[in-house]
Amino acid sequence: MSRYRVEPTPAQEAVLLRHCADARFMWNLAVEQQSHWRPGRQPAPGFVEQCRQLTAARQANPWLAGGSHMVQQQALRDFAQAMRNFFRGTHRKPRWRKVGRDEGFRIVAVRPEHVRRLNRHHAVVLVPKCGWVKFRLSRPVPDAVKSFRIARHAAGRWHVAFAHIPEPLSGPGTGEVAGIDRGVRVTLAVSDGTMFQAPAPRPVARLQRKLSRAKRGSNRRRKLQRQLARAHARNADARRDWAEKTSTIIARRYDLIRIEDLNIRGMTRSAKGTADAPGQNVRQKAGLNRAILGSAWGLVATRLERKAAGRVQKVNPAYTSQTCSQCMTRDRQARESQAVFRCRACGYCGNADVNAARNIAAGHAVTARGRSPLGRRMNREPQLSP
C-alpha cells in the first residue's frame, strides 16, 4: 500500500464522512445478519444475495440511494472477505464498527485518468460524489492502480492508500547472514554488533488523567480526546517511520535474515486474571506490555518479510540468550545482567543481546531436550577453559 496525506475542503470532508458512514452502516448490517445464524438454520446471505438486498433497499430508501452505490457495495465485499479469512482461521470474526474509530471506505475501478498530478508537491484523485480531492504527493503514485482506500484517523487526519504491491528489495549478494534479537532495552541487536533503537514515545499520561476527570459529553472532554488522539498519532508515526527505515536498511545489507519466532500476542496478554484467580504484578506486566508494543517488534518482522521476500527465516528462540555463541555451552547463570554475557566454560565475554543474535544467525535454537538442529548437545555442564 502507498499511503498519502489527503487535504479535503470542508465541503469535501462532509461528503467523505457520509461515505464512511455508509460503509460502516452496511458493514454493521452484515454483522447483524451473520449474528442471527445458528446451527440448523439457513446460512446467512452471501455477497451476491446482499447485493440484491442492497439494490432493493436503495429503491425503498431515498436517504440510502443518496450515497455512493460503489462505497456501499464494496463494504459488503470487504465483509465477505473478512468472513472468508475468519473461516480460514487467519483472522478473528468481524466485529461492529464504531463512529469516530472505524472511518474509511474503498473505491474500485480506478483508471489512470482518475489520478492527476498538479505540481511537484500535490496531486488530486477522483472520488465519487465528491469530485477531485487533493493529496500530498510525497512520492510518485504507483502505475496501474485499480483501487484505493480513504480513511480518517482519530486525530482528524485523512489518508488515501493506493492498492499496490511493491517489488521486494534485493540483497547485496555477498551471502552475509544476519541474526536479529529483539528486546526492550535494545530494540534490535544484529549478530554483527549493530544496534537499532526504537524512538521513545512521547508521554501521554497527563492528557489521560485530564481526560478521566472531564465530564462526559462536555466540550472540554471532546477537546482532550482530540489532543490525546493527536499525541498517539505522533507516536505511531514515529514508530512506523523508524520501522520502515530500519527494515529497509536490514533488507539491503544482508542476504539471509534470521529472526526470533515470537508469539507477540501471547507475550503482551494481560496478567490481571479473573475475580476468582486474580493475577500478580499486574501493573509491572502492563508496563512491560506497553514497552513491547512500543518497540514495534511485529511491524519490523512484517516489513522485513515483505521487503526481503524469501530471505527471512524464523528461528525458535529457546535458550538463545543462555547459550554461548563460541562454545555452545548453555548456562542460565552466564547472563550476568541485561547487557553482559560471560561464559563460565570458555571465558567469552560480550554483549548479551549480540550473543543471542549470533546464536539466531547460526540457527542454534535448541529444543527442550537440549539439542540443536545441528545435532550437538547444548545443555552440557560448564567446562574449564583449555
- 309 assigned to some structural domain: yes
pLDDT of the residue at 41: 79
User: How many structural domains are present in the chain?
Assistant: 2
Q: What pLDDT does residue 370 have?
A: 40
Q: Which structural domain, as residue segments, surrounds residue 295?
A: 177-315
* Phi/psi at 127 (5° precision): -115, 130
Contact between 182 and 191 under an 8 Å Cβ cutoff? The reply is no
Last residue of a domain, one of 286, 315, 344: 315
* Residue 145 and residue 294 in one domain: no
Query: Are 29 and 128 in the same domain?
Result: yes
Whether 280 is in a domain gets the answer: yes
Judge contact between 214 and 221, C-beta under 8 A: yes
- Are residues 192 and 112 part of one domain? no
Asked if residue 240 and residue 144 are part of one domain, the reply reads: no
> 315, 336, 371: which is the final residue of a domain?
315
Last residue of a domain, one of 287, 315, 343: 315
User: Is residue 184 in a domain?
Assistant: yes
Q: Is residue 337 part of a domain?
A: no
Q: Is 230 found in the same domain as 154? A: no
Positions of the chain with pLDDT under 70: 1, 364-386
113/85 same-domain check: yes
Q: Which residues are registered as beta bridge partners of 104? A: 151
Alpha-carbon distance of 245 to 253, in angstroms, equals: 12
List Cβ neighbours of 232 (8 Å cut-off, separation of 6 or more). 154, 155, 204
Alpha carbon 115 to chain centroid, angstroms: 28
Same-domain pairing of 305 and 181: yes
Q: Would you say residue 215 lies in a domain?
A: yes
pLDDT of residue 94: 93
Distance, in Å, from the CA atom of 94 to the CA atom of 85, rounded to the nearest integer, reads 10
3-state secondary structure the chain: CEEEEECCCHHHHHHHHHHHHHHHHHHHHHHHHHHCCCCCCCCCCCHHHHHHHHHHHHHHCHHHHCCCHHHHHHHHHHHHHHHHHHHHCCCCCCCCCCCCCCCEEEECCCCHHHEEECCCCEEEEEECCCEEEEEECCCCCCCCCCCEEEEECCCCCEEEEECCCCCCCCCCCCCCEEEEEECCCCCEEECCCCEECCCCCCCCHHHHHHHHHCCCCCHHHHHHHHHHHHHHHHHHHHHHHHHHHHHHHHHHHCCEEEEECCCHHHHCCCCCECCCCECCCHHHHHHHHHHHHHCCHHHHHHHHHHHCCCCEEEECCCCCCCECCCCCCECCCCECCCCEEECCCCCCEEEHHHHHHHHHHHCCCCCCCCECCCCCECCCCCCCCC
Residue 340 makes CB contacts below 8 A (sequence gap 6+) with 349, 351, 352
Hey, what amino acid is at 240?
Answer: R
In a domain, 334, yes or no: no
Does 148 share its domain with 39?
Answer: yes
Q: What is the pTM of this model?
A: 0.78
Residues 125 and 242 in one domain: no
pLDDT of residue 59: 94
Q: 208 and 228 in contact (C-beta within 8 Å)?
A: yes
